[in-house]
Amino acid sequence: MTLQLHRNSSPIRMRNYGRIVQDMIAYASSLPTGSDRETLEVYIAQCMRQRNLIWNKDQESGINRVREDIIRLSDGQLTCDSPAFKALMNPAETQSKRKK
């Protein structure tokens, strides 16, 4: 008996991020609003930022672009308005708060 594996053959919307990031965004969109979803949003943004740096070595990959791409890939379901995501956007502010 052979096991039939499910293969996702839908097109990748943004090739520089890959199918895994696209699937993570789809999963995060299906979660109810809460701390798990916000944590996953931050993790996805970090993954996307790293992938963007690998894909575009000569360009700075800002977190604002990643935020716009998350919103676009989730069709507006993920808004990236959590305090943890805002801290990721402004790391200098969070570091100065930690020193105080």
Q: At what angle do helices 18-30 and 35-55 cross, to 10 degrees?
A: 160
Rounded (5°) CA angle 62-23-54? 35
pLDDT digits (tens, 9 = 90+) for 34-93: 888 888 999 998 888 888 878 777 666 677 888 889 999 999 898 888 888 888 777 654
Return the pLDDT at 59.
67
78: helix, coil or strand?
Answer: coil
CA–CA separation, 96 and 98 (whole Å): 5
Return the pLDDT at 74.
92
pLDDT digits (tens, 9 = 90+) for 6-23: 777 778 888 788 888 999
Tokens standing for 75? Answer: 């069709």
- Given a contact cutoff of 8 angstroms between Cβ atoms, the answer to whether 20 and 64 are in contact is no
Tokens standing for 98? Answer: 């930690």
